[in-house]
C-alpha cells in the first residue's frame, strides 16, 4: 500500500497521477453526450469488421456473457463500453488468459505467464484485477511451474465478476441499447 507522498514508489505515483487525471475529466462539464462516453485523448474503438449482429443475437447477450464474448462485434462493443468506464482490466485479463491457453512452447508460456502476472495479478500491477488473496495465492503457486491451467482459478473469478457486474451495466448502457433498437 502507498504511504506518505515522499515514500511513494514510482508505479504508485504514476497510478495516482492517472487517477487524478481521470477524476478531473469526469468532473468537467461535457460539451456533448459523446464526452460522457469517450475518454479524453482516445478515439472510440470501432467494433471489429464483422457485420452488425441480428436483433436476436444481440438480445441473447443479456443472458450470456459467453455468447457476447464469442461474437466479434459484441466483444468490441463490450470492450468499448468498459473502456468508457475505465474498467477494461477484467476483460483484458480474461482475453490474455485465453491467448495464454493457446501457447505450446514452455519457454513462451513462462514468458507470457510472467507478463500476465506483472500486468494483472501482482499487488500494484498497472491493470490489477480484483481477486481475493486465496485466488492470488493459488495463482502464484501455480506459476512456479507454468501450465495451461495456471490462471484458470483467477480467470473463472474474473469471468464471474464480469457476468455479475459488468454485463448488467453493459446491457443498461447506450452501447447496448443502440444495438437493440
Record: fold of 55-178: Regulator of G-protein Signalling 4; domain 2 (1.10.167)
Per-residue pLDDT of the chain (181 residues; tens, 9 = 90+): 454 444 445 566 666 666 655 545 444 444 333 333 334 334 444 444 568 899 999 999 999 999 999 999 999 999 999 999 999 999 999 999 999 999 999 999 999 999 999 999 999 999 999 999 999 999 999 999 999 999 999 999 999 999 999 999 999 999 899 889 8
Q: In angstroms, what CA-CA distances link 162 with 81, 86, 178?
A: 12, 14, 21
Q: What are the residue ranges spanned by the domains of the chain?
A: 55-178
Q: Tell me, what's the pLDDT at 22?
A: 56
What is the rounded distance in angstroms from the CA atom of residue 51 to the CA atom of residue 125? Answer: 36
Task: Write down the pLDDT at residue 48.
Answer: 46
Amino acid at each position: 500500500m502507498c504511504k506518505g507522498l515522499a515514500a511513494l514508489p514510482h508505479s504508485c505515483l504514476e497510478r495516482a497521477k492517472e487517477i487524478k487525471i481521470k477524476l478531473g475529466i469526469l468532473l468537467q462539464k461535457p460539451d456533448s453526450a459523446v464526452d460522457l462516453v469517450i475518454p479524453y485523448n482516445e478515439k472510440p474503438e470501432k467494433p471489429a469488421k464483422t457485420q452488425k449482429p441480428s436483433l436476436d443475437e444481440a438480445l441473447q447477450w443479456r443472458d450470456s456473457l459467453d455468447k457476447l464474448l464469442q461474437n466479434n462485434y459484441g466483444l468490441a462493443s463490450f470492450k468499448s463500453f468498459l473502456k468508457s468506464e475505465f474498467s477494461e482490466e477484467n476483460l483484458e485479463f480474461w482475453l490474455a488468459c485465453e491467448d495464454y491457453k493457446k501457447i505450446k512452447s514452455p519457454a513462451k508460456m513462462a514468458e507470457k505467464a510472467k507478463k500476465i502476472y506483472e500486468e494483472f495479478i501482482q499487488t500494484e500491477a498497472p491493470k490489477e484485477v480484483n481477486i481475493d488473496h486465496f485466488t492470488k495465492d493459488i495463482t502464484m503457486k501455480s506459476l512456479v511451474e507454468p501450465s495451461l491451467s495456471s490462471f484458470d482459478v483467477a480467470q473463472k473469478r474474473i469471468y464471474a465478476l464480469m457476468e455479475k457486474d459488468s454485463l448488467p451495466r453493459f446491457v443498461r448502457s447506450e452501447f447496448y441499447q443502440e444495438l437493440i433498437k
